[in-house]
Amino acid sequence: MFMQEKDAISGKQAMAFATIDGRVEELFYAKSLEATIEKNKTDVPVLGKTNVAKRSAGWAGKGTLTIYYVTSMFRNLMLDYIKNGRDFYFDLQVVNEQPGSSAGKQTAVLMGCNLDSIIAAKFDATGDDMLDEELAFTYSDYDLLDQFSSITGA
What are the structural domains of the chain?
A: 14-46+54-146 (2.30.110.40)
Residue 75, φ and ψ in degrees, nearest 5: -65, -40
Query: In this predicted model, what pLDDT tens digit does every residue of 74-96 receive, in sequence order?
Result: 999 999 999 999 999 999 999 99
Query: In this predicted model, what pLDDT tens digit does every residue of 43-58 receive, in sequence order?
Result: 999 999 999 999 999 9
The rounded distance, in Å, linking the Cα atoms of 112 and 141 is: 6
Report the pLDDT value the prediction gives residue 1, as an integer from 0 to 100: 81
Report the pLDDT value the prediction gives residue 16, as an integer from 0 to 100: 97
CB 139 within 8 A of CB 110: yes
Residue 153: pLDDT band by 50, 70, 90 thresholds? Answer: confident
Query: In this predicted model, what pLDDT tens digit does every residue of 101-144 receive, in sequence order?
Result: 999 999 999 999 999 999 999 999 998 999 999 999 999 999 99
pTM over 0.85: yes
Radius of gyration of the chain (CA): 20
